[in-house]
Chain A
Amino acid sequence: MKIVVCIKQVPDTTEVKINPETNTLVREGVESIINPFDMYAIEEGLRIKERLNGEVVALCMGPPQAEAALKEALSLGCDGAVLLTDRSFAGADTLATAYTLSRGIKSIKDVDLIICGKQAIDGDTAQVGPGIAEMLDLPCITYVGKVEEIDDKHIKAYRMMEGGYNVIEASVPCLITVVKEINEPRLPSLRGKMNAMKAQITKWSAADIACEVDRIGQMGSPTWVRKIFAPPKREKGMIFKGEPPDTVGGLLSALKDKGVL
């Protein structure tokens, strides 16, 4: 079974802070990490490979620095890594990103299963996975919390809904997006790290994967960020300290006064 895991390099939001004067993100010294949901996607790819044999290829679109994310994927046990990197990919929205990744997957050829994280933590859209499925004309199961069965013909998986799960069966090839619940990602082994250091990362430009120029990057993005601004500040809260009967009484009467409760 040939599995492609799509990963994104994102800033570690635990370290992203706001400059209180300018209200912009302080990105200096912020580490880049693999999007946390994509770690579960890598792990699930590796587990399926270990059961069924085959290979796992990590695929990423990003600037040359994103190579670090792919090296990490290799150290975890991915067999191959492809970086789609080209200045003309810059400014891509989710539609152009899904298109570009779908071209990359076409070029990897004969892919049975594509696994994406549910969403990336910087954009939080959850749109790229289903977009790729559409562009490759594949069935898609989003928010997967468990892959119960999989072989080269079909997959049975649990889709996490607001109030429970749908158990869904789909034909393979297909695409799934995964949530945290699905597994517990492994740590890289020493041998994995050594292999990753030596491994070559395949780099493809827009021309290498035969992209239509008006469908990539900013040109291929129907949405356009018109304005960026700081979110409204929350007012300083009312904090009660002291003995519980008083603090609780104070809180409840404040909530009543404000019509909250």
Chain B
Amino acid sequence: MGIIIDQNKCSGCGLCVKSCPFDVIQIKSRKDENKLHPRYKNIAVILEGCTLCGACVEACPVDAITVTREKKEPAATIKDYKGIWVFAEQQDSVVQEVALELLGKARDLAGKLSAEVTAVLLGDKVAKEADRLIHHGADRVILVEDPVLKDFLDEPYADVLCHLVGEYKPEIILMGATTIGRAFASRVAARIHTGLTADCTDLDIDPQSKILLQTRPAFGGNIMATIHTEHHRPQMSTVRHKVFKPLEEDKSRKGDVVKVAYPGKIVSRSRIIDIIKDKTQQVNLTDADIIVSGGRGLGKPENFELIREFAEVLGAAVGASRAAVDANWISYSHQVGQTGRTVAPKIYFAIGISGAIQHQVGMRSSDVIIAVNKDPHAPIFDIANYGIVGDLFQVVPELIKQLKK
């Protein structure tokens, strides 16, 4: 286990230093390192903080770097794990769109693995949703119904899913990267001791090893990383809304519904005592197709009305930059960015938002970004697909007027 630099080969060229995403390689004098070489004066040295990512191995022109990972013999049971599961997250007994999107992707992966797709539906009186899951690509629905499972709570959900994993041994489990999915997936992975990759933006199957390749952004989207779980099963991923597309609903699709009873009483040390709906938002930010966000350029809270009006014309959700939230113009639940929500709608309008890096990391994976700003040098224009340089108080009313036509 570790990273080794072959001191006979390293020329001290420094290409590895540039390739290192974690900045933990330094070129040092061979004399100081006591590794003299007849031709080369310098040598690369790995500092603390190396994650063994292997970026330098590819960058090295003289093949002087090797990364080795202690090979655990794959557990004999790994091949017992088969099939792809999608956690069919429900709220108010309605399956969330993200679960349907995952079923679409699961079908694609299942084709590459010749595997079955199973949707796992936990709740109370949710059986009516099973058909919809089958119509969107599930071959089978595992259904567990219990009053305790009505709304999501960490412990009972984890108890039930871990039990099901033990019984049925799925190879892959996909969940939405929602408030529920992120907490739930992590708890399950920790209990069954397997790998979990958050917020994947791409999933594929390695043609040789048949391992799930999970690609996700890191460092606020500055780099992409492909991650895999080699020696543990199931392989688990969470995926944000809107990353994958659901299949067209096919009402002729057939599948099995397997009702499973949890052995014993499901207990929880926490309980939901109230559910409060956000009335300031007509459309959910996280699963909106279009988002209109306002920022500092609005000048005062009343001007958010203009954003709301524009959003209404488009059927869009209303977002905001941190500056607008910190000024108390709009509530935190609308904040897009590093310390708010991360969104990826089809169209993102940034109105009067300069586009600081913290805002960009929360919205840069939107399909189309449209910026309106009076400052032609605002950083938002660097990532915008379309932009209007101008006074938003003239531009937005004009947009509303022309769109209404």
For the complex, what is the distance from the CA of A87 to the CA of B40, rounded to whole Å?
30
For the complex, what is the distance from the CA of A228 to the CA of B55, rounded to whole Å?
7
The number of chain A residues with a CB under 8 A from chain B is: 92
For the complex, what is the distance from the CA of A159 to the CA of B178, rounded to whole Å?
12
Q: Contacts A180-B335, A237-B385; is A130 near B183 (CB within 8 Å)?
A: yes
Interface residues of B in 263-283 (CB under 8 A from A): 268-278, 281
CB-CB under 8 A from B119, the residues of chain A are none
Determine whether B285 belongs to the interface, using a CB cutoff of 8 Å to chain A.
yes
Determine whether B299 belongs to the interface, using a CB cutoff of 8 Å to chain A.
no
Are the C-beta atoms of A142 and B223 separated by less than 8 Å? no
Are the C-beta atoms of B179 and A143 separated by less than 8 Å? yes
Instruction: Output the residue of B151, B361, B388 with the most chain A CB within 10 A.
Output: B388
Are the C-beta atoms of B222 and A231 separated by less than 8 Å? yes
Q: Contacts A37-B339, A180-B335; is A91 near B52 (CB within 8 Å)?
A: yes
Are the C-beta atoms of B225 and A227 separated by less than 8 Å? yes
CB-CB under 8 A from B48, the residues of chain A are 63, 87, 90
Of B16-24, B130-138, B246-254, the stretch lying at the interface with chain A is B16-24
CB-CB under 8 A from B232, the residues of chain A are 222
B172 CB to nearest chain A CB (Å):
14
B277 CB to nearest chain A CB (Å):
4
A232 CB to nearest chain B CB (Å):
9
Are the C-beta atoms of B53 and A228 separated by less than 8 Å? yes
Instruction: Output the residue of A90, A94, A167, A226 with the most chain B CB within 10 A.
Output: A226
Are the C-beta atoms of A223 and B196 separated by less than 8 Å? yes
Determine whether B76 belongs to the interface, using a CB cutoff of 8 Å to chain A.
no
Determine whether A27 belongs to the interface, using a CB cutoff of 8 Å to chain B.
yes
Determine whether A104 belongs to the interface, using a CB cutoff of 8 Å to chain B.
no
Q: Contacts A134-B187, A162-B179, A164-B276; is A25 near B222 (CB within 8 Å)?
A: yes
CB-CB under 8 A from A166, the residues of chain B are 151, 272, 274-276
Q: Contacts A13-B361, A142-B179, A165-B276; is A127 near B185 (CB within 8 Å)?
A: yes
Are the C-beta atoms of A223 and B197 separated by less than 8 Å? yes
The number of chain B residues with a CB under 8 A from chain A is: 110
Are the C-beta atoms of A235 and B390 separated by less than 8 Å? no
Interface residues of B in 341-366 (CB under 8 A from A): 342, 346-347, 356-358, 361, 364
Chain B residues touching A, majority SS? mixed
Are the C-beta atoms of A227 and B272 separated by less than 8 Å? no
CB-CB under 8 A from A72, the residues of chain B are none
Determine whether A207 belongs to the interface, using a CB cutoff of 8 Å to chain B.
no
Which listed residue (A13, A168, A228) contacts B357, Cβ 8 A?
A13
Which listed residue (A123, A125, A134) contacts B191, Cβ 8 A?
A134
Q: Contacts A131-B186, A164-B276, A248-B388; is A225 near B225 (CB within 8 Å)?
A: yes
Of A14-22, A42-50, A53-61, A189-197, the stretch lying at the interface with chain B is A14-22
Of A73-81, A105-113, A239-247, the stretch lying at the interface with chain B is A239-247
For the complex, what is the distance from the CA of A226 to the CA of B49, rounded to whole Å?
17
Determine whether B66 belongs to the interface, using a CB cutoff of 8 Å to chain A.
no
Interface residues of A in 205-233 (CB under 8 A from B): 218-219, 221-231
B141 CB to nearest chain A CB (Å):
23
B57 CB to nearest chain A CB (Å):
11
CB-CB under 8 A from B388, the residues of chain A are 239-241, 244, 247-248, 251
For the complex, what is the distance from the CA of A255 to the CA of B178, rounded to whole Å?
30
For the complex, what is the distance from the CA of A251 to the CA of B388, rounded to whole Å?
8
Are the C-beta atoms of A121 and B338 separated by less than 8 Å? yes
Are the C-beta atoms of A230 and B357 separated by less than 8 Å? no
Chain A residues touching B, majority SS? mixed
Determine whether B370 belongs to the interface, using a CB cutoff of 8 Å to chain A.
yes
CB-CB under 8 A from A68, the residues of chain B are none
Are the C-beta atoms of B276 and A134 separated by less than 8 Å? no
Are the C-beta atoms of A90 and B49 separated by less than 8 Å? yes
Determine whether B226 belongs to the interface, using a CB cutoff of 8 Å to chain A.
yes
Determine whether B37 belongs to the interface, using a CB cutoff of 8 Å to chain A.
no
Are the C-beta atoms of A228 and B223 separated by less than 8 Å? yes
CB-CB under 8 A from B53, the residues of chain A are 225, 228
CB-CB under 8 A from A222, the residues of chain B are 193-195, 229-232
CB-CB under 8 A from A179, the residues of chain B are 332
Of B27-35, B100-108, B163-171, B213-221, the stretch lying at the interface with chain A is B213-221
Determine whether A93 belongs to the interface, using a CB cutoff of 8 Å to chain B.
yes
Q: Contacts A13-B220, A179-B332, A231-B222; is A156 near B273 (CB within 8 Å)?
A: yes
Determine whether B333 belongs to the interface, using a CB cutoff of 8 Å to chain A.
yes
Are the C-beta atoms of A126 and B198 separated by less than 8 Å? yes
A68 CB to nearest chain B CB (Å):
15
Determine whether B63 belongs to the interface, using a CB cutoff of 8 Å to chain A.
no
User: 6 shortest A-B CB distances, which residue pairs?
Assistant: A222-B195, A170-B270, A27-B23, A223-B195, A125-B198, A167-B274
Besides A63-B49, A130-B187, 11 other CB < 8 A contacts? A19-B18, A63-B48, A90-B51, A123-B198, A130-B182, A131-B189, A161-B180, A224-B227, A224-B228, A229-B225, A240-B387
| Listed A/B pairs (26) with beta-carbon separation below 8 Å | A13-B357, A24-B18, A95-B189, A95-B194, A125-B198, A129-B183, A130-B186, A131-B189, A134-B190, A134-B191, A156-B273, A162-B285, A170-B271, A181-B333, A222-B195, A228-B21, A231-B217, A238-B386, A239-B376, A241-B389, A241-B390, A244-B390, A248-B388, A248-B402, A255-B368, A261-B347
